[in-house]
Amino acid sequence: MAGIWIYSEDTVVAQQLMTMGRPLADQLGQPLCVMTIYEQDAPEFVAAGANKVFVLKGNSAWPESYAPAVAALAAKESPTALFIGATLRGKDLAAKVAARLKTGLVTDAFAIRFENGEIETDRVMYGGLAICTEILQGIGVVTIPPRTFEMPNKDTSLTGDIVLVDAGVDSTMVVGNVCPIVRLGADITKAERLVCVGRGLGKQEDMKLAQELAAGLGAEIGCTRSIAEDYHWLPNETYIGLSGQKVKPVLYLSIGVSGQVQHVAGIRDSKIIVAIDSNENAPIFAAADYGIVGDLYQIVPLLTEAVKNQR
Ligand SMILES: Cc1cc2nc3c(=O)[nH]c(=O)nc-3n(C[C@H](O)[C@H](O)[C@H](O)COP(=O)(O)OP(=O)(O)OC[C@H]3O[C@@H](n4cnc5c(N)ncnc54)[C@H](O)[C@@H]3O)c2cc1C
């Protein structure tokens, strides 16, 4: 049947992928199809523009178990491309699906185009030093990180088919124990404003400078890996970068962060990047929209005062 197919165990992420998938399907003249394991969410996908929604009905509550079902349906229906939300679970599933389909897997694509009759994807390589463009062949399986695309508009007058599919789940996967994650800091991936601290801060007590500025801005606090992993001043889930969290705030403001490539890989989707650093050659300034060269111990209190006076 061909088509542009979307799958995520997270309904919000699946809809974000539809924002990319709908125009792509239109360009190809093919349907946009969504696979979901939640029957109750199927009408939402139709309202967001899906021509067809496959509801995978299996006897497992664990999204991880559905890789065989996703792969089997894709093998049967032969979509042109299958886009999977790159959540932790989605990444795991995508690798299994691609292996079952004996096809290639593009991970963490941030741009998808239809050019010269082919689907091209872009993804970041070498910690952000290069962009790799790939052309899909066969059933191209591609993962896309959450929040790469905005949510689509909904129109409840749209129509689409909802098809229930008997899904064979992976019975070799057994969940023995479930431990909820205890989050120590704020969820910085959802923050609209972020103040990010780096090793420019001389001692832990100086964190209060960042906290006061963040309070004035209504911002959450993030940090570099060094602050979390080496100094242990903030929890690990608040460090930003290639091996940390990828953030997408409206405002990212760094204090004493040099801006090494592994850090910048996590902030490049921020809308406005402001950097304060005493070294005018610090790489963070190449990524920043606004830069202040100077001593953070002088600048941050002035900035905090100015922000307070604005309110
Ligand atoms: C495989 C790998 C993965 C990595 N992943 C990540 C990651 O995900 N996230 C991450 O953050 N890092 C990551 N790193 C580490 C990264 O390479 C850097 O070492 C780290 O980001 C540096 O942190 P920093 O900017 O706090 O410190 P530094 O690089 O030491 O920078 C401190 C900055 O503070 C400035 N400064 C000093 N005093 C003042 C002052 N008084 N006023 C103003 N400015 C001042 C300095 O000029 C300097 O620019 C990774 C490294 C590797 C090898």
pLDDT in tens, 13-32: 999 999 999 999 999 999 99
Q: In whole angstroms, what is the distance from residue 202 CA to residue 2 CA?
A: 58
CB of 277 sitting under 6 A from ligand 1 = yes
State the fold for domain 4-166: Rossmann fold (3.40.50)
Q: In whole angstroms, what is the distance from residue 204 CA to residue 153 CA?
A: 45
State the fold for domain 188-310: Rossmann fold (3.40.50)
- Mention every residue, 6+ apart, whose C-beta is less than 8 A from residue 84: 6, 7, 8, 90, 93, 94, 97, 141, 142, 143, 144
CB of 146 sitting under 6 A from ligand 1 = no
Ligand 1 centroid from CA 282, angstroms: 10
Residue 26 is predicted with a pLDDT of 97
Residue 185 is predicted with a pLDDT of 67
Pair 54, 31: CB distance under 8 Å: no
Residue-wise burial string across 194-204, b where 16 or more C-beta atoms lie within 10 A, e elsewhere: bbbbbebbeee
CB of 293 sitting under 6 A from ligand 1 = no
Residue extent(s) of CATH 3.40.50.1220 domains in the chain: 188-310
Residue 1 is predicted with a pLDDT of 66
Chain-centroid distance of CA 40 in Å reads 24
Residue extent(s) of CATH 3.40.50.620 domains in the chain: 4-166
Cross-strand bridge partners of residue 193? 251
Cα–Cα separations (whole angstroms), residue 97 to 69, 91, 105, 120, 145:
9, 10, 9, 20, 17
Residue identifier of the C-alpha nearest atom 41 of ligand 1: 295
CB of 128 sitting under 6 A from ligand 1 = no
Of the candidates 182, 205, 209, which has an alpha carbon nearest to the alpha carbon of residue 195?
A: 209
Residue 4 is predicted with a pLDDT of 98
Ligand 1 centroid from CA 94, angstroms: 33
**Ligand 1 atom nearest 295 alpha carbon:** 42
CB of 137 sitting under 6 A from ligand 1 = no
CA atoms within 13 A on the CB side of 229: 8
Pair 30, 114: CB distance under 8 Å: no
CB of 124 sitting under 6 A from ligand 1 = no
pTM (2 decimals)? 0.79
Report the SS3 class of residue 58: coil
Mutate to test the pocket of ligand 1, among 124, 226, 230, 231 (most ligand atoms within 8 A of CB): 226
Low pLDDT (below 70) residues in the chain: 1, 184-185
Cα–Cα separations (whole angstroms), residue 307 to 194, 208, 278, 285, 304:
14, 16, 21, 22, 5
- Mention every residue, 6+ apart, whose C-beta is less than 8 A from residue 1: 31, 77, 78, 79
Residue 272 is predicted with a pLDDT of 98
Token output for 277: 């650093």
**Ligand 1 atom nearest 224 alpha carbon:** 11
The model's pLDDT over 188-215, given as tens digits with 9 standing for 90+, comes to 998 999 999 999 999 999 999 999 999 9
The one-letter code for the residue type at 203 is K
- Mention every residue, 6+ apart, whose C-beta is less than 8 A from residue 179: none
